[in-house]
Structure 1
Amino acid sequence: MTTTQHRTSTRSRQLELDAYEHDSTAQYASAIAELTDAYGGLTGKVRLLSEDVEGGRRKVRSMDLDERTSAKSRLPTEFLLEELSIDRGLGWSEIARLCGVSVSAVRKWRAGESISSESRRSLARLAAFLDLLQEVGPVGEPAGWLNMRLSDQHTVTAADLYVAGNPQDLLEHAQGHLGVDKLLDHCAPDWRTSSRSEWKIVKLPDGERALTRRE
């Protein structure tokens, strides 16, 4: 083979290699684009499915809470008060606040005076909520959990959100389906500024924790 022929052959092989690499790159890019589109579509479907599941779960829980509330509404008032105060450990002022009534109203109920159907349902709903709360998550003592701060740096408590009419969101949070930030963003949008505590928890050199005022 002459030098010219050798050069021509080498050049031909290089052109073939370049063409192959070009085709491979194009095929690879095309495959990646197809996979990206496919997974993008799946992501959308998964998101929609997740929303459907969440909506279904919340609907079932709402029905459960309503059904339990209706069942407890048929109980005598003194029984509901005993359940909330003795069995659950709530104070009379806490019961009044969580049910949206005055302490004097609770005092009258304890004395056997009449109660409106709306107030009876509020007592029953609170009792049903506490039952569910203990069932769905690692809450421990529901009454104590209600009065704990949801965030170390802010003063808002679960009781605050219950009073504001968010029992479903609290149950979602207790079961681990809703993080603290998302819970507060949904139920109290201005929580980052309106409920910021002037105190913060710090860790001391010996490992203990202490409260200190924010600067």
Structure 2
Amino acid sequence: MTASVVPALSSTGGKSFLPSIDETSSTSKSVRELNGDAAVIRAQAGDLHSTSTSLHHRTRDYALSLSRNDWGRKSPADLLAHLSELGFAWRDIARMVGVSVPAIQKWRRGERITGDNRARLTQLLAVLQMVTDEYLISDPASWFEMPIVDGVAVTPIDLYVAGSVELLLDWASHHEVDSTVVLDKFDADWRQTHVDDNFETFVAEDGELSIRPRHMS
């Protein structure tokens, strides 16, 4: 739109052409309105993202509950045999279930298991089934052992043991694509607490803490 102009006398008696006061006010108002509209759209987009994420998580939780019920029909020995077939070490199974390796061995022999421990076994298997069937991760045992970021001693096993199953599944599904976002949600101080001894933290050019192999320093 071409701004309307009105002639104005200059100090030398000539005419200058400047936007009128009314037109300037109208233009400023339009910019304010556009900024307001943009803010509303941003808020609506944020609300939509939050709603869709919540719905996704509720749907996933429901799928996990159905899977847990199915696995719960099997004996503990069968559940452990399946975990072993997937390639998981007994120490890792024990850690994720929250018991000792001797307890795992007793269940393999058919000795009594509590309801809570049986539920933990079925939860682990339900998560593994979703990771393999829904998110197409082959060899889940080695994937669970793989560091989320090179040089940082945090793996999907650590996420699971910490109770961050939702975060683990987000990582498996690439819902959270940025690995540093996953680590930030797991432990905001991971750069100080979980960096491997062969790596070090440093302040990058953008002013953020990053990590690098020590031989590069």
Q: What interval of TM-score do these two structures reach, taking the shorter chain for normalisation? A: 0.7 to 0.9
User: Secondary structure at 1:18's aligned position in 2?
Assistant: strand
Query: 1:31-110 alignment to 2 at 5 Å?
Result: 31-86=30-85, 88-110=86-108
User: Are the aligned partners of 1:136 and 1:171 in contact in 2 as well (CA < 8 Å)?
Assistant: no
Please name the residue that 2:141 is paired with.
Answer: 143
User: Are the aligned partners of 1:61 and 1:168 in contact in 2 as well (CA < 8 Å)?
Assistant: no
- Aligned-residue CA RMSD (Å): 2.6
Q: Deviation of residue 72 (structure 1)? A: 0.7
Query: 1:1-215 alignment to 2 at 5 Å?
Result: 14=15, 17-19=17-19, 23-86=22-85, 88-178=86-176, 179-200=178-199, 213=214
Find the aligned partners of 2:189 and 2:213 in 1 and give their Cα distance: 24
Structure 2, gaps ≥5 residues long: 1-6, 201-211
Find the aligned partners of 2:214 and 2:181 in 1 and give their Cα distance: 26
Question: What letter matches 2:172 in structure 1?
Answer: A
- The CA deviation string for residues 141-192 of structure 1, in whole angstroms up to 9 with x for no partner, is 2111111111113111110110111111111121122232222222223212
Find the aligned partners of 1:181 and 1:171 in 2 and give their Cα distance: 15
Find the aligned partners of 1:71 and 1:10 in 2 and give their Cα distance: 84
Find the aligned partners of 1:75 and 1:116 in 2 and give their Cα distance: 14
Question: What letter matches 1:61 in structure 2?
Answer: R
The alignment-based identity, stated in percent, is 29
Q: Deviation of residue 66 (structure 1)? A: 2.0
Q: Deviation of residue 138 (structure 1)? A: 4.9
Q: TM-score, normalised by structure 2?
A: 0.80
Aligned residues: 195
Note closer, same or farther for the CA distance 1:85–1:35 as it changes in structure 2 (3 Å cut). same
Note closer, same or farther for the CA distance 1:130–1:14 as it changes in structure 2 (3 Å cut). same
Find the aligned partners of 1:92 and 1:50 in 2 and give their Cα distance: 40
Q: Which moved more, 1:126-135 or 1:179-188?
A: 179-188
* Structure with the largest fraction of strand: 2
Q: Which moved more, 1:190-199 or 1:23-32?
A: 23-32
Find the aligned partners of 1:138 and 1:132 in 2 and give their Cα distance: 8
Q: Deviation of residue 77 (structure 1)? A: 1.5
RCO higher in structure (CA 8 A, sep ≥6)? 1
Bigger Rg over Cα: 1
Q: Deviation of residue 195 (structure 1)? A: 0.5
Find the aligned partners of 2:213 and 2:149 in 1 and give their Cα distance: 16
Find the aligned partners of 2:122 and 2:93 in 1 and give their Cα distance: 11
Structure 1, gaps ≥5 residues long: 1-8, 202-210
